[in-house]
Homo-oligomer: A and B are copies of this chain.
Protein backbone atom coordinates (compact mmCIF):
# COMPACT_ATOMS: atom_id res chain seq x y z
CA UNK A 1 0.00 0.00 0.00
CA UNK A 2 2.60 2.52 1.08
CA UNK A 3 6.02 1.36 0.00
CA UNK A 4 8.03 3.86 2.00
CA UNK A 5 6.19 3.16 5.21
CA UNK A 6 6.53 -0.56 4.64
CA UNK A 7 10.28 -0.10 4.23
CA UNK A 8 10.48 2.02 7.34
CA UNK A 9 8.72 -0.68 9.35
CA UNK A 10 10.95 -3.33 7.85
CA UNK A 11 13.94 -1.31 9.00
CA UNK A 12 12.62 -1.08 12.54
CA UNK A 13 12.06 -4.82 12.68
CA UNK A 14 15.48 -5.52 11.22
CA UNK A 15 17.23 -3.17 13.59
CA UNK A 16 15.35 -4.41 16.64
CA UNK A 17 17.16 -7.75 16.63
CA UNK A 18 20.53 -6.06 16.89
CA UNK A 19 21.97 -2.73 15.78
CA UNK A 20 22.89 -2.58 12.08
CA UNK A 21 24.91 -0.30 9.83
CA UNK A 22 23.45 1.75 7.02
CA UNK A 23 24.93 -0.61 4.44
CA UNK A 24 23.44 -3.70 6.06
CA UNK A 25 20.06 -2.04 6.19
CA UNK A 26 20.18 -0.96 2.55
CA UNK A 27 21.23 -4.44 1.46
CA UNK A 28 18.51 -6.03 3.53
CA UNK A 29 15.86 -3.87 1.88
CA UNK A 30 17.44 -4.20 -1.55
CA UNK A 31 17.58 -0.44 -2.01
CA UNK A 32 20.28 2.16 -2.42
CA UNK A 33 22.08 3.43 0.66
CA UNK A 34 20.80 6.94 0.19
CA UNK A 35 17.24 5.67 0.16
CA UNK A 36 17.78 3.84 3.41
CA UNK A 37 19.54 6.86 4.87
CA UNK A 38 16.66 9.24 4.29
CA UNK A 39 14.18 6.88 5.89
CA UNK A 40 16.55 6.39 8.81
CA UNK A 41 16.94 10.14 9.26
CA UNK A 42 13.20 10.51 9.59
CA UNK A 43 12.99 7.62 12.02
CA UNK A 44 15.87 8.96 14.05
CA UNK A 45 14.40 12.46 14.22
CA UNK A 46 11.26 11.04 15.81
CA UNK A 47 13.07 8.67 18.15
CA UNK A 48 12.06 5.42 16.46
CA UNK A 49 15.67 4.47 15.86
CA UNK A 50 18.85 5.80 17.40
CA UNK A 51 22.50 5.69 16.59
CA UNK A 52 24.18 3.20 18.82
CA UNK A 53 27.67 4.26 19.84
CA UNK A 54 30.15 1.64 18.65
CA UNK A 55 32.01 0.75 21.81
CA UNK A 56 35.13 -1.07 20.75
CA UNK A 57 34.22 -4.69 20.11
CA UNK A 58 30.86 -4.01 18.63
CA UNK A 59 30.77 -1.59 15.71
CA UNK A 60 27.81 0.69 16.27
CA UNK A 61 25.04 1.46 13.85
CA UNK A 62 21.32 2.02 14.13
CA UNK A 63 19.26 0.45 16.89
CA UNK A 64 15.70 0.79 18.10
CA UNK A 65 14.90 4.16 19.64
CA UNK A 66 13.45 5.15 22.96
CA UNK A 67 10.22 6.42 21.56
CA UNK A 68 9.30 2.81 20.92
CA UNK A 69 9.63 2.06 24.62
CA UNK A 70 7.22 4.80 25.50
CA UNK A 71 4.79 3.77 22.76
CA UNK A 72 4.95 0.17 23.89
CA UNK A 73 3.79 1.26 27.33
CA UNK A 74 0.97 3.28 25.80
CA UNK A 75 -0.08 0.28 23.76
CA UNK A 76 -0.21 -1.85 26.88
CA UNK A 77 -2.46 0.65 28.63
CA UNK A 78 -4.73 0.87 25.63
CA UNK A 79 -5.42 -2.83 25.41
CA UNK A 80 -9.04 -3.30 26.30
CA UNK A 81 -8.87 -6.96 27.17
CA UNK A 82 -12.57 -7.13 27.89
CA UNK A 83 -13.75 -6.25 24.41
CA UNK A 84 -11.22 -8.56 22.81
CA UNK A 85 -12.18 -11.47 25.06
CA UNK A 86 -15.93 -11.08 25.26
CA UNK A 87 -16.96 -12.88 22.04
CA UNK A 88 -14.82 -15.84 23.01
CA UNK A 89 -16.27 -15.93 26.51
CA UNK A 90 -19.79 -15.92 25.05
CA UNK A 91 -18.97 -18.74 22.70
CA UNK A 92 -17.43 -20.77 25.50
CA UNK A 93 -20.43 -20.21 27.72
CA UNK A 94 -22.87 -21.18 25.00
CA UNK A 95 -21.02 -24.31 23.96
CA UNK A 96 -20.69 -25.75 27.45
CA UNK A 97 -23.56 -24.04 29.26
CA UNK A 98 -21.29 -22.85 32.05
CA UNK A 99 -20.78 -19.46 33.60
CA UNK A 100 -17.52 -17.91 32.45
CA UNK A 101 -15.45 -15.15 34.08
CA UNK A 102 -12.61 -12.95 32.95
CA UNK A 103 -10.30 -11.83 35.76
CA UNK A 104 -7.69 -9.10 35.56
CA UNK A 105 -4.69 -8.35 37.75
CA UNK A 106 -5.06 -4.76 38.98
CA UNK A 107 -2.27 -3.72 41.31
CA UNK A 108 -2.05 -6.59 43.75
CA UNK A 109 -5.58 -7.92 43.50
CA UNK A 110 -7.58 -9.80 40.91
CA UNK A 111 -10.75 -8.10 39.71
CA UNK A 112 -13.62 -9.59 37.72
CA UNK A 113 -13.81 -7.55 34.51
CA UNK A 114 -16.28 -9.68 32.56
CA UNK A 115 -18.85 -12.40 33.18
CA UNK A 116 -21.13 -14.42 30.92
CA UNK A 117 -23.89 -16.37 32.63
CA UNK A 118 -24.46 -19.96 31.61
CA UNK A 119 -27.68 -21.90 31.29
CA UNK A 120 -29.57 -22.24 34.58
CA UNK A 121 -27.48 -19.52 36.13
CA UNK A 122 -27.03 -19.72 39.85
CA UNK A 123 -26.66 -16.80 42.18
CA UNK A 124 -22.94 -16.26 42.53
CA UNK A 125 -20.97 -13.87 44.66
CA UNK A 126 -18.95 -12.64 41.72
CA UNK A 127 -19.72 -9.35 40.03
CA UNK A 128 -17.90 -7.30 37.44
CA UNK A 129 -15.62 -4.82 39.16
CA UNK A 130 -15.43 -6.72 42.44
CA UNK A 131 -12.17 -8.28 43.58
CA UNK A 132 -11.93 -12.09 43.66
CA UNK A 133 -10.97 -13.95 46.83
CA UNK A 134 -7.34 -14.79 46.27
CA UNK A 135 -7.28 -18.06 48.21
CA UNK A 136 -10.43 -19.59 46.74
CA UNK A 137 -11.27 -18.23 43.27
CA UNK A 138 -9.66 -20.23 40.48
CA UNK A 139 -9.11 -17.10 38.33
CA UNK A 140 -7.22 -15.46 41.15
CA UNK A 141 -5.12 -18.53 41.76
CA UNK A 142 -4.19 -19.01 38.13
CA UNK A 143 -3.13 -15.39 37.74
CA UNK A 144 -1.16 -15.42 40.98
CA UNK A 145 0.49 -18.69 40.00
CA UNK A 146 1.98 -17.17 36.87
CA UNK A 147 3.52 -14.08 38.52
CA UNK A 148 7.15 -13.85 39.54
CA UNK A 149 8.15 -14.24 43.18
CA UNK A 150 7.78 -10.61 44.18
CA UNK A 151 4.42 -10.04 42.52
CA UNK A 152 3.05 -13.31 43.81
CA UNK A 153 4.10 -12.28 47.31
CA UNK A 154 2.35 -8.93 46.94
CA UNK A 155 -0.88 -10.64 45.89
CA UNK A 156 -0.71 -13.19 48.70
CA UNK A 157 -0.08 -10.44 51.24
CA UNK A 158 -3.66 -9.30 50.73
CA UNK A 159 -5.03 -12.75 51.51
CA UNK A 160 -7.12 -13.23 54.65
CA UNK A 161 -7.50 -17.05 54.43
CA UNK A 162 -11.06 -17.03 55.75
CA UNK A 163 -12.51 -20.55 55.84
CA UNK A 164 -15.73 -20.88 53.82
CA UNK A 165 -15.95 -24.65 53.30
CA UNK A 166 -14.08 -27.79 54.35
CA UNK A 167 -11.86 -27.60 51.27
CA UNK A 168 -10.88 -23.92 51.65
CA UNK A 169 -7.12 -23.39 51.73
CA UNK A 170 -6.46 -21.57 54.99
CA UNK A 171 -2.73 -21.06 55.22
CA UNK A 172 -0.07 -19.53 53.09
CA UNK A 173 2.14 -22.58 52.71
CA UNK A 174 -0.69 -24.71 51.39
CA UNK A 175 -1.67 -21.94 48.98
CA UNK A 176 1.89 -21.57 47.70
CA UNK A 177 1.95 -25.32 47.04
CA UNK A 178 -1.38 -25.11 45.25
CA UNK A 179 -0.03 -22.27 43.08
CA UNK A 180 3.08 -24.26 42.20
CA UNK A 181 0.88 -27.19 41.22
CA UNK A 182 -1.32 -24.82 39.21
CA UNK A 183 1.63 -23.53 37.28
CA UNK A 184 3.07 -26.95 36.55
CA UNK A 185 -0.17 -28.46 35.29
CA UNK A 186 -1.20 -25.28 33.49
CA UNK A 187 -4.57 -24.56 35.08
CA UNK A 188 -6.11 -23.78 38.47
CA UNK A 189 -8.98 -25.51 40.22
CA UNK A 190 -11.51 -24.45 42.82
CA UNK A 191 -12.85 -27.62 44.43
CA UNK A 192 -15.81 -26.12 46.25
CA UNK A 193 -13.48 -23.90 48.18
CA UNK A 194 -15.82 -20.95 48.44
CA UNK A 195 -19.24 -22.59 48.07
CA UNK A 196 -19.68 -26.30 48.74
CA UNK A 197 -21.72 -26.91 45.62
CA UNK A 198 -19.68 -24.94 43.09
CA UNK A 199 -16.37 -25.76 41.43
CA UNK A 200 -14.25 -24.08 38.79
CA UNK A 201 -11.24 -24.41 36.56
CA UNK A 202 -9.28 -21.42 35.29
CA UNK A 203 -6.67 -20.89 32.60
CA UNK A 204 -4.01 -18.24 32.12
CA UNK A 205 -4.22 -15.59 29.41
CA UNK A 206 -0.90 -14.24 28.10
CA UNK A 207 -0.46 -10.71 26.81
CA UNK A 208 1.87 -9.47 24.09
CA UNK A 209 4.86 -9.58 26.45
CA UNK A 210 4.09 -13.06 27.69
CA UNK A 211 2.84 -11.80 31.05
CA UNK A 212 -0.27 -13.26 32.66
CA UNK A 213 -2.46 -10.31 33.51
CA UNK A 214 -5.75 -12.06 32.86
CA UNK A 215 -7.38 -15.39 33.49
CA UNK A 216 -10.48 -17.19 32.29
CA UNK A 217 -12.52 -19.33 34.67
CA UNK A 218 -15.28 -21.81 33.95
CA UNK A 219 -17.74 -22.38 36.75
CA UNK A 220 -20.13 -25.32 37.23
CA UNK A 221 -22.44 -26.69 39.87
CA UNK A 222 -20.88 -29.80 41.31
CA UNK A 223 -24.21 -31.57 40.78
CA UNK A 224 -24.13 -30.73 37.08
CA UNK A 225 -20.42 -31.15 36.34
CA UNK A 226 -17.99 -32.44 38.95
CA UNK A 227 -14.34 -31.42 38.68
CA UNK A 228 -13.50 -34.61 36.79
CA UNK A 229 -15.95 -33.58 34.10
CA UNK A 230 -14.47 -30.09 33.82
CA UNK A 231 -11.00 -31.60 33.52
CA UNK A 232 -12.11 -33.55 30.46
CA UNK A 233 -12.91 -30.27 28.76
CA UNK A 234 -9.66 -28.55 29.68
CA UNK A 235 -8.26 -28.85 26.16
CA UNK A 236 -11.17 -26.88 24.77
CA UNK A 237 -10.99 -24.28 27.54
CA UNK A 238 -7.29 -23.91 26.93
CA UNK A 239 -7.87 -23.35 23.23
CA UNK A 240 -10.31 -20.56 24.06
CA UNK A 241 -7.89 -18.95 26.51
CA UNK A 242 -5.20 -19.20 23.86
CA UNK A 243 -7.39 -17.41 21.34
CA UNK A 244 -7.83 -14.57 23.82
CA UNK A 245 -4.06 -14.49 24.32
CA UNK A 246 -3.63 -14.21 20.58
CA UNK A 247 -6.11 -11.35 20.46
CA UNK A 248 -3.97 -9.62 23.06
CA UNK A 249 -0.98 -9.96 20.79
CA UNK A 250 0.61 -13.07 22.27
CA UNK A 251 2.52 -15.04 19.64
CA UNK A 252 3.67 -18.02 21.67
CA UNK A 253 1.92 -21.27 22.51
CA UNK A 254 -0.91 -21.89 24.96
CA UNK A 255 1.48 -22.79 27.76
CA UNK A 256 3.26 -19.47 27.73
CA UNK A 257 6.31 -20.59 25.76
CA UNK A 258 7.53 -18.36 22.99
How far, in angstroms, from A208 to B64 measured CA to CA in the complex?
A: 13
Binds B, one of A23-31, A68-76, A133-141: A68-76
Most B C-beta atoms less than 10 A away, residue of A70, A151, A248: A70
A156: shortest Cβ distance to chain B, in Å?
Answer: 11
- List residues of chain B with CB within 8 A of the CB of A84: 53
Task: Check A80 against B55 for contact (C-beta < 8 Å).
Answer: yes
Assuming the contacts A16-B78, A83-B55, asked whether A9 and B66 have C-beta atoms less than 8 A apart, the reply is no
A42: shortest Cβ distance to chain B, in Å?
Answer: 4
Within 8 Å of chain B (Cβ to Cβ): is A153?
Answer: yes
Within 8 Å of chain B (Cβ to Cβ): is A65?
Answer: yes
Within 8 Å of chain B (Cβ to Cβ): is A225?
Answer: no
Most B C-beta atoms less than 10 A away, residue of A18, A38, A43, A151: A43
Q: Which residue of B lies closest to A43 (CB)?
A: B5
Most B C-beta atoms less than 10 A away, residue of A17, A55, A67, A84: A67
16 more contacts with CB within 8 A, not counting A55-B83, A108-B150, are: A2-B8, A2-B41, A2-B42, A6-B46, A16-B74, A16-B78, A53-B83, A55-B82, A63-B75, A63-B78, A66-B79, A66-B249, A67-B249, A69-B249, A71-B72, A108-B149
